[in-house]
Structure 1
Amino acid sequence: MKTEYIDSKLLRKMFIFAAKSLEKNKKTVDALNVFPVPDGDTGTNMSLTMQSAVKQIKNLDSDDIAQIASAASKGSLMGARGNSGVILSQLFRGFAKGLNDVKKIDTKAIAKAFKSASDTAYKAVMKPTEGTILTVARECAEKASELSEHETDIKVFLETVIDYGETVLNKTPDMLEVLKQAGVVDAGGKGLIFILKGAYLGLVSEDDSVIEDLDHAEEPANLSDAHEQEDIKFGYCTEFIINTTNGNADEFRNQISGYGDSILVVGGDDIIKVHIHTNEPGEVINKAMALGELIDIKIDNMRYQHKNRILEEETVTENEEENIKEYSFIAVAMGDGIKNVFKDLNIDYVIAGGQTMNPSTEDILNAINEVKGRNVIILPNNSNIILAATQAKELSDKNVEVIPAKTIPQGISAMLAFDEELDINENVDNMTKAISSVKTGQITFAVRDTVINDVEINKDDIIGLNDGDIVTVGNNIKDVAIDLVKELVDEDNYLITIIYGEDISEGEANELAEEIENEAEDCDVEVVYGGQPLYYYIISVE
């Protein structure tokens, strides 16, 4: 049967099927990581972002097509994880713009929305790279525009667009040499194809019953590592979203400012997201209900939670907590030792995350809200978190700066360059320059067979990375680490810091340090416990 229009009910169904398709196939996407390191998480990040979009849709009590698309945009924006998740959220944002004021979706409307999605995503990336999800999205949009001139059957239309998208995806290795050498297609592009295929299945499926929730899906870890207080002034952590057409985020923030602290009010596209610590959650909710429908209401008794948790650090007094500082710092890190290093460097808030576990835009926004500085400086310490941090910066009403640190040593170097006597612009400049003064080596293991830079790598091989590039391969952790240091160190270097992970003993780390001292006689060698997973060693060379 020919299908010429998609109504609101069918659009909801297609979004849910799309999320289920990606969730089912996320490990396939994860496995397409170019480098065979154990942190390929493109599929997981896209799936978690997609689930956040669908959650917003399921909580929306509306049959308006534009509002459903907008809900997907808002959900994906707040739930975006990693670069792939941020790009996906921008695709949904553009898709929603393209469906604004649309009552029934035909092939021309889909083509317009696809074009808007592609344009929005390209604009969000500073230096777009062809051979990625962006290319697949753009080519699909162009094919959709061409088809919409004569094809009115949406089933045939989408089948053709998806087939063409797969053809483009299979050509991505010809566009990016790293994909060709690794023998894989682009992971983000593959994830997008799974989304489109899922949406198509939602279109053609005759099962119109209520689709089960994605309760079986992998839930993101609790990434917050906020400072806890024994004396909690405002006891209820209250969060909700207001669906409103006449609300103003700034005005509502002013209305509830006297009811508590840690207030985050972010608005846009007929939605206001609210977070507040208060003793009167009912009063706050009553004020919110005057603006519109409330969804995703969550109220936690922090005093009760606190009594059942073990304090990890000395309590900060209430007066000290309330004092506004000139600067606050947020870092993303994994491993107890690394977290302690950052706390020793005066980091106010450590978000647990990094390899394989990228915090969402909302996680970073919550961290921004928790700290008390007039200026907030974020150290992502991972290239896959920088976009989400930048997106959180844009959503926050605080003065936020993101230092583009891609590794733990870069983040540490940036903090050492900070000078509280300087203004924010001078500090950002100095901290950004400092990250280029340190070289980062990492020792981990290969998760699959591949070829990188003409080097054959087998699953479970030990591999050494120099600022992200695989430069050494072997079967022994210590031998690969020594070879890596030889690649990293030159005559200008004076300090080598070995940060050992959870799978390495202190004795093994010290033994490695001794051998490195013999190899690099002009350098001091320090050993630091990091406790990081997956990476046996992180090596800093200055």
Structure 2
Amino acid sequence: MNEEKRNSNLLKGMFDSAVIYFQRHIESVNALNVFPVPDKDTGTNMYQTLKSMKIGIEREQTDRERKIYEDNRDETANRLQRSLSDLEDLSLRLWVASFFAAKGNSGSILAHVFKGIFEGLTRSELVDVSILVKAKEEAYSTFPDPVEGTMLTVLRDLATESVNRSVPGVSICDSFNSMIEIARVSVDSTPGLLSILKESGVVDSGGYGVEIILRGMALFLSREDPETTSLYLRFPDDKGEGIERLILQHQETNEEYGYCTQFVLESSVSEELLDKKLDEIGESLAILGSHGVFRVHIHAKDPGKPISAAVDLGVVSEVSVENMENQSKTMLMDQDEPKSKTQFGSVDIGDKTALVALASGEGIKEFLLDSGANLVIEAGDTANPSVGEILDCLEAISASSVLLLPNNKNIASTAHEAAKMADTNVVVLPTVSVLQGMECSFAFDPDLSAQINSEMLVDVMGSVKTILIFPAARSVEINGVSALEGQPVAMLDSKLILSATTNLELLVRAIEATGGQDSDQITVFLGNRLDELDLDSIRDFLESSFGDLEHAGIELHWGGQPHYDFMVSVVSS
């Protein structure tokens, strides 16, 4: 593999790692969001932008994406008098994807950053920290009078200080630890630069998001798993009381935040003219333009005004309007909601050991409680609780010790962090699926300590195979298994093993493929697109293949879990 291809693969790996790591911090970033509006969406917007970029560079480009890509590729190639390198081409595709993926103010800034990275790579002979300067300049270009103490400040500090500390000939990859430290210090300083942050007891959420992206990229360089590496969490001071005061004070003014409005405009006008026409209509205006196509973000009291103004100039599409006043009220309600301790009440089991599990699906949670769990925390593949939420639940329990089952590898590090902070002795058993956790709950002994239970249950974990059956989100071909978008696929312990025309056919084949007939027990949980009314018909279908289910050692239950039509545990001694 030549160096160009290696550099391209390196950037792709770093970007993918950042997307995964950022997903685990969405709520932490959201919880700090007070500027320019306390609408609790910075983390969501940044993640949706990053995720859509990842999808955008892996699928075939749309016609509009291809036009922007080809126009910029050809223009740059003419300037350089050569074809783009693999690394330059990937950075261009990332920027084009970000152009259409950008969500909210923070997503718009990210799109400018990736445009700057592309420009920096094509104007520098070395892949070094000087690229950050171009990224910063591009981000600042859309905000001529930026407010200090924001995401832009962190980007500026990152670029300026990284260049000041740089050593000639040292690559940007070798500078990452220094870059992360610069970002951390800059994020820490934001409350001193912006009074609304200081009064609310938070750092800037967008700046924190930039820091998380850098930390996620660095994990790829150090060959650490972004799904399991410890989180880097920041929390509002005083449990968010400052944010609550901010929103209540705003409500007393009877003013409204207005609407976050975004759209794509195809027009022959200049970016300067578009900026002039829209700037007087609203605030937080951000325009990203390329060859007659503009991505516009603006906060306006009346979203119809910027949209109508744009319609006068060209063709408007991909319109998104979000009521920021409602979002701020939702954030206030989140602050007012009783924490997990209050929701669950106190759990006092005296001098025995408590069992706490994380799971989603009403049937699944009820099953866990019936099988021995004292408390079940809502969690799943796309609903990961924060350290604080898990800690609140742990502190609601009075017991000699607590055994905590994360039941998901993406939640394991969060569970460990909460366990370290708890006053009670908490031991985390690293269960990677709710079905593993369920078998462990059956064998759990409250009369033994959490540590002894943990040591005993390791063998139980190893006896469980987990089958997940769900519709493919996109067309795939992995491990010799191919499936079209929407076609049922089966995974065995995180490995794709089968696809089929129907989920029932796939259920039978998956059980057979894992040697289910020779196992001690098979338990099937229905969820996702199925409900309790489907139990009888599915039982009949399984009996046509395996005979009497009780004799075959197969149990069928409604789990109500999201994402998966069937979750199947195959237990063998």
TM-score (normalised: structure 1): 0.48
TM-score (normalised: structure 2): 0.46
